[in-house]
Structure 1
């Protein structure tokens, strides 16, 4: 009785199909290799902690010193309200010796130690410049404080952007390694078909070329990953290695309407406040030039005394002779600069023109901020839609790749079609990664521009929680 021999080629489609399913399931695995794994003893940087860590930034420390300098300058200007006391001593002590000869009189000698201390007290009762100088110092201090806050918020936003970029690079590597594994499977399938006599050398070469491109792309993403880490460490002023949360999720939701965004952003913007302060400073400087032509009234008190030991202009020196005297003078003083050729008047007009320039700068910045807030808000809504659409695209691409592999396994499709579907899936994943990345950047930008808070709950226009299936709200935070 003849035994039936089953051709092993008949099992090839089944083997290829099982291999395809195994590769598609590898998406759930962690593809970050050991090169990118952080050491267990490195500090873990949480997204919420960036605001505290950024205080260690060197540029921010420099601005903090400028705030301190402006504070001391204000104290210096305020001190002008109080009396000033000066101590002066002409010779402490002073020794005078000499002779005075005259043919008509006796020769006189001098040998004497003297000391002449004096104390001067001045108090400006009316100083036209003092009020403007104190006001300018206060406004300069406020500007320095605002500049510090502006830079701090800018650095926080920049650090968060670098954090998101570094986080995104993990996902890019994961996606590229997933694609690389698909290409390895495609190459193995092409070689298996060639060995079985039902494939072509051209398909093997095509699969090898795709595998080479995927390896190169993966290496590029690894380099970008290391550069992103260096950039994040630089802005956080961290010398050692660091570790972050590798998962890419939504950091929150934006439940504020556009009109509220614009109103809050313009009302609380510190750069706009600085322009108003600069305008006020220019006007106070202009008034100070006019004040120089106003009278100044001050009280002065001078107490002077003289102590002496020895003799002066005497025929015989008595070294034990001593004496002292004192005087105290109190006066009300008045000074008034009447004319200086129009210098102060022209300087006044110059500062008024500068103040008007600050007004135009204020209006221009206001328009720029409105535009930036609107663009960030609209881009956020656009990226919300992209996140949802790319998720659908990923599911569709997965199914297309699965069907394409089945068609290829049974010989009714080509490897070229499989590679195209494989590329479509990789691109869909990349689009979703970019959409999540840009969405989080838009949230950080809106928070920076409007001073409003990112919410952890997803609400509609009526402050009701959204529970629709096809919604951005279903993405985990």
Structure 2
């Protein structure tokens, strides 16, 4: 068909044959090779199409094509005489430097890993220099190591452990009420009294105007041993039962916190694995876009491509680079989330040492998982204990207005030294001074009955309040039971769904990779379009991300069903 016009000389030409050779009927006897558009580009197009046929033949025998076609075209078009296609400058390409995280120092874990990464024993010590919070080291950790570190370092676990000790101390205080109390009371002192006697009408022996001073002193010491014991009441037994249940309740809270921590760390670890692989996929996508852009520019310089194809590939490369930047940012946030869950030192960052792979399968059926969760979950037992605690506390409140029988006993000793001193003008006429001492003892024993008659309804109000708390605990038990079943079913269905998706996504990755390879060959041979390459590249990136997300989602669902069932680490039939 005549109507195509040469971009160089304006001559009309006809495209003939499968390879699209150009015939110039309007040039007459002129040498067709004198047209600069026909010289090297014609040979480049021929080589492109020939290389496409060769690549198809090589691929049919399972061999990878040796050299990139773009490199072959660039070597062919390196002629001293410039052509129109070579003289036309393609649009400036987007810089292809792929972003990468800053330099880090990887630390190989050793036998003292748990000791080295333990949290600071002084919780009030805060960094005051920038270098104290700068993360210069990346510490590789397996999931098992991360779980062990979390159990040692996590402050929430330490709080739960302290609460258990607190409840145990309260129990010892309640048990102390079952024993008698024994006390010793002692006093020691000295007292003195003085009197003065004046003679107003005297006698021969006591003349008028004489006086006498008398001083009486006493030094005393007393000691008393008291014994008190409550023989019977309606309070201590209920209080003791409530305190014992509170200790068990605190232990169950610790167990639930450990299960929650295991889920939190597992999720953070799997998400970091996912973020690491998404960064890898994004980098590979950038490399693929750079390669496609290189091919598009080579075709454009050879005159068989268009500026539009180059621009589209530049846009695709920019999008892939932006996706890589976002992926690296998400990776950094995932690392810090895991570090926070582990409560590691301020200058430590982490790497996942475990490969991304399917965790052990879950071999329990849905019905078995639900029944096992009802048996294992500490939250259910905690609500039962809360109900018992409330009713025991109600019984103790009512016992405050019931009779109490007690025993009281005491034994005491007394000692005193008395002095009688006299002085005055006629002191010698009076009896001589005296110094005496005395001692005595006493003891008592008896029963004490205490019968409260009226307290204004305080005990009954407190009892009703605790009984209502017991009823609330019963309803919380029902809510917790239903939530546990929902958690198990949700995690189980997610587990099945993601397990089925893993096979589908893996197959999709293989198909997308092959489709991209063929799209590149078609484009490089001139029989395909840049749109096919871009779409195939997007499909491959999406397929790889979907395959990765399916594995991560399966592992997350497995971690959640373990938490929903609880205490599955020792089960022979359960995974992990």
Q: Which has the larger radius of gyration?
A: 2
Residue equivalent to 2:311:
205
Residue 358 of structure 2 aligns to a residue in which SS?
Answer: coil
* Structure 1 pair 96–312 and aligned structure 2 pair: CA distance change class (3 A): farther
Residue equivalent to 1:87:
184
Residue equivalent to 1:234:
340
Distance (whole Å) between structure 1 residues aligned to residue 432 and residue 369 of structure 2: 92
> Is residue 189 of structure 1 aligned with residue 295 of structure 2?
yes
Which residue of 72, 90, 97 corresponds with 2:192?
Answer: 97
Distance (whole Å) between structure 2 residues aligned to residue 304 and residue 456 of structure 1: 66
Cα deviation for residue 135 of structure 1 reads: 0.7
Counterpart contact for 1:176–1:217, Cα < 8 Å: yes
Distance (whole Å) between structure 1 residues aligned to residue 228 and residue 411 of structure 2: 12
Counterpart contact for 1:310–1:318, Cα < 8 Å: no
> Is residue 322 of structure 1 aligned with residue 437 of structure 2?
yes
> Is residue 7 of structure 1 aligned with residue 103 of structure 2?
no
Distance (whole Å) between structure 1 residues aligned to residue 285 and residue 521 of structure 2: 18
* Structure 1 pair 319–210 and aligned structure 2 pair: CA distance change class (3 A): farther
Q: Deviations over 1:412-448 (max 9, x none)?
A: 2210111011000100000111111110011111111
Residue equivalent to 2:22:
none
> Is residue 112 of structure 1 aligned with residue 218 of structure 2?
yes
Cα deviation for residue 36 of structure 1 reads: 7.6
Distance (whole Å) between structure 1 residues aligned to residue 333 and residue 504 of structure 2: 30
* Structure 1 pair 332–14 and aligned structure 2 pair: CA distance change class (3 A): farther
Which residue of 173, 187, 192 corresponds with 1:76?
Answer: 173
Residue equivalent to 1:262:
370
Residue equivalent to 2:84:
none
Residue equivalent to 2:127:
none
Residue equivalent to 1:377:
492
Cα deviation for residue 403 of structure 1 reads: 1.8
Provide TM-score, normalisation by structure 2: 0.72
Residue equivalent to 1:157:
263
Counterpart contact for 2:143–2:354, Cα < 8 Å: no
Distance (whole Å) between structure 1 residues aligned to residue 482 and residue 440 of structure 2: 73
Q: Deviations over 1:184-218 (max 9, x none)?
A: 11100000001111111111111111111111111
* Structure 1 pair 80–457 and aligned structure 2 pair: CA distance change class (3 A): closer
Give the number of equivalent residue pairs. 447
Aligned CA-pair RMSD: 3.1
* Structure 1 pair 454–268 and aligned structure 2 pair: CA distance change class (3 A): closer
Provide TM-score, normalisation by structure 1: 0.86
Distance (whole Å) between structure 2 residues aligned to residue 303 and residue 420 of structure 1: 101
Residue 412 of structure 2 aligns to a residue in which SS?
Answer: strand
Residue equivalent to 1:464:
none
Which residue of 448, 453, 460 corresponds with 2:568?
Answer: 453
Further displaced range: 175-184 or 342-351: 342-351
Counterpart contact for 1:167–1:245, Cα < 8 Å: no
* Structure 1 pair 262–100 and aligned structure 2 pair: CA distance change class (3 A): farther
Counterpart contact for 1:110–1:317, Cα < 8 Å: no
Distance (whole Å) between structure 1 residues aligned to residue 222 and residue 185 of structure 2: 8
> Is residue 350 of structure 1 aligned with residue 458 of structure 2?
no
* Structure 1 pair 396–288 and aligned structure 2 pair: CA distance change class (3 A): same
Cα deviation for residue 38 of structure 1 reads: 5.2
Distance (whole Å) between structure 2 residues aligned to residue 389 and residue 318 of structure 1: 118
Counterpart contact for 1:20–1:185, Cα < 8 Å: no
Residue equivalent to 1:44:
140
* Structure 1 pair 36–222 and aligned structure 2 pair: CA distance change class (3 A): farther
Cα deviation for residue 150 of structure 1 reads: 1.0
Higher helix share: 1
